[in-house]
């Protein structure tokens, strides 16, 4: 799944879910519009007369898009897609506040024929039963050849969108060119050289380097107090603080040094170890980790304003002061040119995953790093259809065109006719430089197309000559990150996005989880800032989390994980 690319979104991340809709139902629609056998040619022909008549089918659609993205009507590749599908789309675009209005609109049945990008989540199909069309009978080689091929060639994509009772309401995306992790840690190599320091390899060495950055005028401008040794991001693009400062560029990425395999498919502390589902928020290793972070904070090595800085501020600090001098020594980010800008990126180098060596009374740990491959390359619910859509075949025909090889590349990077990409062979493409010379490649992508929000199927066999930022991102992860991430097997990788729960289990999680999260969310900053002592409050904290229902949640998640393991082994 690149959230890819929280950093590439500047002040807004991939996870920003925003949308509205047009058209509507009475909110009581069922799936009676689905044919008994969508593969039957006579049924398809009778319900989709436009396929033979040539008359365009008019459909309504809403797209949840990035605030920077231009309107769909301005995308030439999208107009071509409509022509190929023989449909005429009446577009509604929403760039903000979908989460605020979605429940009201869904409850009223106020949705268009097609919902694209970030319109729905899995829970919507249960909560608003009957509002969305079960696509399963329609997903045939005849009507949806591209989606069918994706499911056959990348079976995880089908597993991702199939409900526990075997239905499919939303189609996914697959963009398998993205790297193994969203976050890499960078350090100012020029500062290391100025101070005669080596690249740190352990937690102890890392603290020593940060202390030198703080006290020895590392940037050499004569002001020993303008350096920020370590910065991080605690906020999502929507402005909400992430649980346990667990954004993609948060310090919790470092917890892998204690042998905890984090995945970004679940930001609430759940992980798998030897086939057992655990929550690191009550693990003794989390206590050790928080003591280390609190020590860094107490020594003034962590940017104290990171607790409240939004993503835009986090990004701008890494690009230096008004004099063009670097002021951040170490930080996590997506890619060096995006994180530090054209003037400063050459000063920074990749820090390979650190080893934990502070308090090894319980033994040594096998270093891990955050595994984001699934969420960067696969996400569900990229397109769904109203159960009241009068011509679902035409709607599916249109959606399937997004999964065509060329249209998928255009959906991700921008159209050929729009000057964003060039087709260089039957299966090869080149991402062109932005037409706006003042815009970086990441921002240009989000300006020109639906980008990572879009339905798409980027085939593994498709060759793409990437823009500079992606080339650098892949090279950076080859510096120790890919190797560390590859150590974790199936029983040590928590696959939250692929796990399925009964409605009863979902209701228990929905009722219990907020109480657990509230305790943990309110505690980590108190420990980090020294307002509470970790050792004296740890036992009571763990007891409170368990009393709030964590054991029951772990039991439910364990059952789902066991079922997942049976299906993949």
Give the pLDDT confidence score for residue 123 in this predicted structure. 85
Confidence of residue 51 (pLDDT cuts 50, 70, 90): low
Lowest mean pLDDT among 26-40, 82-96, 318-332: 26-40
Give the pLDDT confidence score for residue 248 in this predicted structure. 82
The stretch 533-544 carries a mean pLDDT of 98
Confidence of residue 443 (pLDDT cuts 50, 70, 90): confident
pLDDT digits (tens, 9 = 90+) for 392-427: 999 999 999 999 999 999 999 999 999 999 999 999
Confidence of residue 521 (pLDDT cuts 50, 70, 90): confident
Average pLDDT, the chain: 87
Backbone region of residue 324 per phi and psi (left: phi > 0; alpha: psi in -120 to 50; beta: other values): left
Give the pLDDT confidence score for residue 470 in this predicted structure. 87
The stretch 296-309 carries a mean pLDDT of 94
pLDDT digits (tens, 9 = 90+) for 138-178: 999 999 999 999 999 999 999 999 988 899 999 999 999 99
Model-level pTM greater than 0.85? no
Beta strands in 336-377 (DSSP E): 348-351
In terms of Cα–Cα distance, which of 207, 334, 359 is closest to 264?
334
Beta bridge partners of 200: none
Confidence of residue 361 (pLDDT cuts 50, 70, 90): low
Give the pLDDT confidence score for residue 43 in this predicted structure. 38
The stretch 429-454 carries a mean pLDDT of 91
Concatenating the DSSP letter of every residue in 397-430 gives: HHHHHTTSHHHHHHHHH--TTTTSEEEEETTEEE
- Domains of the chain listed by start with CATH number: 7-26+41-176+375-466 (3.40.190.10), 184-371 (3.40.190.10), 497-568 (no CATH)
Give the pLDDT confidence score for residue 309 in this predicted structure. 87
In terms of Cα–Cα distance, which of 461, 263, 292 is closest to 360?
292
Give the pLDDT confidence score for residue 363 in this predicted structure. 65
pLDDT digits (tens, 9 = 90+) for 190-242: 999 999 999 999 999 999 999 999 999 999 999 999 999 999 987 654 445 55
Give the pLDDT confidence score for residue 267 in this predicted structure. 63
How far from the centroid of its chain's Cα atoms is residue 176's Cα?
Answer: 14
- CA distances 164 to 93, 462, 503, 554, Å, are 32, 32, 9, 19
Confidence of residue 40 (pLDDT cuts 50, 70, 90): very low
Q: In angstroms, rounded to a whole number, what is the distance separating the alpha carbons of residues 337 and 160? A: 33
Confidence of residue 440 (pLDDT cuts 50, 70, 90): confident
Burial 364-398 (b: 16+ CB within 10 A, else e): ebbbbbbbbbbbbbbbbbbbbbbbbbebbbbbbbb
Give the pLDDT confidence score for residue 19 in this predicted structure. 31
Q: In angstroms, rounded to a whole number, what is the distance separating the alpha carbons of residues 230 and 296? A: 9
Give the pLDDT confidence score for residue 50 in this predicted structure. 56
Q: In angstroms, rounded to a whole number, what is the distance separating the alpha carbons of residues 323 and 122? A: 48
85 half-sphere exposure, CB direction, 13 A CA radius: 31
Q: Is 51 exposed, middle or buried (0-12, 13-18, 19+ CB in 10 A)?
A: middle
463 has a pLDDT exceeding 60: yes
Q: To the nearest whole percent, how much of the chain has pLDDT over 90?
A: 70
What order of strands is seen across the sheet that includes strand 184-188? Answer: 228-231, 328-333, 184-188, 348-351
Confidence of residue 16 (pLDDT cuts 50, 70, 90): very low
Give the pLDDT confidence score for residue 437 in this predicted structure. 87
569 has a pLDDT exceeding 90: no
The stretch 118-134 carries a mean pLDDT of 92
Q: Find out whether 288 and 271 touch, Cβ atoms under 8 Å.
A: no
Give the pLDDT confidence score for residue 305 in this predicted structure. 92
């Amino acid at each position: 799944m690149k959230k890819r690319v929280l950093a590439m979104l500047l002040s807004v991340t991939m996870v920003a879910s925003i949308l509205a809709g047009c058209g509507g139902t009475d909110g009581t629609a069922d799936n009676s519009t689905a044919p008994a056998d969508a593969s039957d040619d006579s049924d398809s022909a009778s319900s989709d007369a436009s396929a033979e008549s040539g008359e365009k089918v008019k459909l309504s659609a809403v797209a949840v898009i990035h605030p920077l993205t231009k309107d769909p009507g301005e995308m030439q590749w999208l107009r071509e897609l409509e022509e190929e599908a023989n449909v005429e789309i009446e577009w509604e675009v929403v760039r903000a506040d979908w989460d605020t209005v979605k429940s009201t609109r869904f409850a009223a049945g106020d949705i268009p024929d097609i919902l694209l990008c970030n319109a729905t989540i899995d829970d919507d199909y249960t909560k608003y039963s009957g509002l969305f069309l079960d696509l399963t009978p329609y997903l045939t080689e005849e009507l949806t050849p591209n989606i069918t091929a994706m499911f056959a060639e990348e079976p995880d994509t089908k597993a991702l969108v199939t409900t526990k009772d075997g239905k499919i309401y939303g189609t996914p995306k697959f963009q398998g060119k993205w790297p193994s992790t969203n976050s890499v840690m960078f350090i100012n190599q020029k500062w290391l050289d100025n101070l005669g320091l080596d690249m740190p390899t352990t937690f102890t060495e890392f603290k020593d380097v940060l202390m030198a950055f703080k006290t020895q005028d590392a940037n050499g401008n004569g002001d020993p107090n303008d350096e920020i040794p370590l910065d991080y991001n605690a906020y999502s693009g929507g402005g909400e603080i992430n649980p346990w400062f667990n954004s993609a560029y948060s310090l919790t990425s470092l917890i892998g040094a204690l042998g905890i395999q984090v995945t970004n498919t679940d930001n609430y502390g759940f992980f798998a170890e030897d086939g057992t589902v655990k929550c690191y928020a009550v693990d003794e290793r989390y206590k050790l980790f928080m003591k280390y972070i609190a020590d860094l904070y107490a020594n003034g090595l962590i940017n104290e304003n990171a607790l409240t800085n939004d993503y835009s501020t986090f990004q701008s600090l890494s690009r230096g002061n008004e004099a063009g001098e670097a002021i951040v020594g170490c930080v996590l980010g997506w890619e060096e040119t995006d994180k530090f800008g054209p003037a400063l990126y050459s000063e920074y180098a990749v820090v390979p995953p650190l080893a934990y060596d502070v308090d090894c009374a319980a033994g040594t740990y096998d270093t891990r790093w955050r595994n984001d491959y699934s969420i960067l390359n696969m996400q569900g619910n990229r397109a769904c259809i109203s159960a009241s859509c009068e011509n679902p075949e035409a709607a599916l025909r249109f959606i399937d065109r997004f999964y065509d090889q060329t249209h998928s590349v255009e959906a991700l990077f921008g159209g050929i006719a729009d000057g964003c990409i060039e087709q260089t062979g039957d299966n090869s493409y080149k991402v062109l430089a932005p037409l706006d010379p003042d815009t970086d490649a990441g921002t240009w992508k989000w300006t020109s197309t639906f980008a990572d929000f879009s339905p798409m199927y980027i085939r593994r066999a498709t060759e793409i000559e990437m823009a500079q930022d992606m080339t650098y991102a892949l090279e950076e992860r080859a510096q120790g990150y890919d190797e560390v991430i590859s150590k974790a097997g199936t029983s040590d990788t928590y696959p939250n996005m692929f796990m399925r729960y009964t409605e009863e289990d979902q209701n228990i999680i929905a009722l219990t989880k907020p109480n657990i999260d509230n305790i943990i969310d309110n505690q980590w900053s108190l420990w980090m800032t020294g307002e509470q002592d970790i050792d004296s409050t740890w036992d009571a904290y763990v007891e409170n989390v368990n009393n709030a229902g964590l054991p029951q949640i772990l039991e439910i998640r364990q059952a789902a994980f066991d079922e997942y393991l049976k299906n993949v082994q």
